[in-house]
Amino acid sequence: MTNLDRRSRKTRNAINSAFWELLQSQHFDKIAIRDITEAADINRSTFYLHYYDKYDLLQQAINDLLNQFSQPNPVGTTSFHDMTLAHYMNSMDNINRNFTEFRTLFSQADLFDFQEWLADIYYQREGLSHDFSSEEAADLEFTIAYFTAAMAGTIKWWLKHDRPLPYEQTAKKLYAIHKQIFPAKKGD
C-alpha cells in the first residue's frame, strides 16, 4: 500500500467523522460543504477529490454502514425463512458498534428509510418481484412489510432509548419474533 492510499483513506475518514459529527447537531439540509471541510480540517478541493457533493458523501456513508450487514450471510445466500440467530446477532452487533451513526440516521428519517431497505433485502432473498397475481406472493410481501416495519420501529426505539437492552438480548427477541411470524417449513 502506498502512502497516497493511506493518506487518501485518512482524509476520507476525517471527512466521514466530521460529517457524522455535524449530523448529530444539525439537519443534513443545514450542513454546507464549508462546514464539513472546516470540521475535517481540509480544503474544498480535497473534499471534491473524494466526493461529488454532500449527497454523494451521505450516500457513501450510508452504504458503508449497510455493507457491514452483508457479513456473514451476503444478500441472496440465506432465505428469509432460514435466517438464523447468528444473522440477527451480526445485524444488532453492527448497529451497536455504529450506534451514533444509526441513531443519527433514525433521528433524521427523511435521509434514509431503514424499513424500506430491510424489506428490499428480504424481497431479493425471496426472489419476489412485486407481482401480486399470486395470492401467496402478495401474502408473503404483506407479512414482510409488517415484519420489517416492526423491526425498524423496534430498532429505532432501542436507539432512541440509548440501548436499554444488550444487543444480544435484542437480537434474540427479534429472532424469536421472526420464528413466530415465519415458522420453519416442513423438512427444515
Instruction: Report the predicted TM-score, pTM, of the whole model to 2 decimal places.
Output: 0.81
pLDDT per position as a tens digit, 35-57: 999 999 999 999 999 999 999 99
Ranking 36-50, 82-96, 145-159 by mean pLDDT, the lowest is 82-96
Which DSSP string do the residues of 8-31 spell out, in sequence order? HHHHHHHHHHHHHHHHHHS-GGG-
> What domains appear along the chain, each with residue ranges and CATH number?
3-61 (1.10.357.10), 71-181 (no CATH)
Evaluate whether 172 touches 154 at the Cβ level (below 8 Å). Answer: no
pLDDT per position as a tens digit, 116-134: 888 887 777 666 676 667 7
C-alpha cell at 18: 466530521
